[in-house]
Structure 1
């Protein structure tokens, strides 16, 4: 065997600490971005992107630390639901903000892929 049980436990504990610290940093950065960014869409970007990755890193670190198959299966379900619901929730909040006039349309860039009207009339 390459590693004995004590060495393997030490390696997984160090990896768990690294994952937990990285996840905590990303989640903290998401909170700072939500407070500091000026517009709704910038805040939505700051909240969804690093927060989801931070939560996934935290749960990976937790699963490395717990080492129970039932707990790891439950944490995998939490990751799956987070990956399914966070983008949908962010889309709905930003769409509601756009429809209620909370988004400044002058800050949005035009769609470069949309065809011009005069090209279709010719």
Structure 2
């Protein structure tokens, strides 16, 4: 058994941590389904980025609640991971979109289509 687990959590903390954990998993799953279901690359790239970012923040909130109530004060690692994902996922998405846009324009396609 770990030294950080002191005892059972209060009911309110269990419920909040469970809700944020399930919500984070749901956001990640919805992003994954968007990756499969959307028609073009430019549509597909958006859903996983939002799903991953929102999912990580929800899981981070659940971790903060859990470890704060336990008194372990180890949630700094979770916050750093969430900040890393929140900063790198959109930047990666932008670079992937620019590379795809460059390739499509080299092929002579009018991307994005005129409105």
- TM-score, normalisation: structure 1: 0.74
1:73-112 aligned at under 5 Å gives the runs 73-101=76-104, 105=110, 108=113, 110=115
Mapping of 1:40-119 within 5 angstroms? 40-67=41-68, 68-69=72-73, 71-101=74-104, 105=110, 108=113, 110=115
CA-based RMSD of the aligned residues comes to 2.3
Q: Distance in 2 between matches of 1:75 and 1:89?
A: 21
Structure 2 gap segments, 5+ residues each: 1-6
Equivalent-residue separation in structure 1 for 2:114 and 2:85 (angstroms): 29
Deviation at 1:35, TM superposition (A): 0.6
Deviation, structure 1 residue 108: 3.7
Greater Rg, structure 1 or structure 2?
1
Structure 1: runs of 5+ lacking an equivalent: 1-5, 111-122
Secondary structure in structure 1 of the residue aligned to 2:39: coil
Partner of residue 23, structure 1: 24
Q: Give the whole-Å Cα distance in 2 for the aligned partners of 1:33 and 1:48.
A: 10
TM score, norm. by length of structure 2: 0.78
1: CA distance between counterparts of 2:64 and 2:113? 41
Alignment length (residue pairs): 103
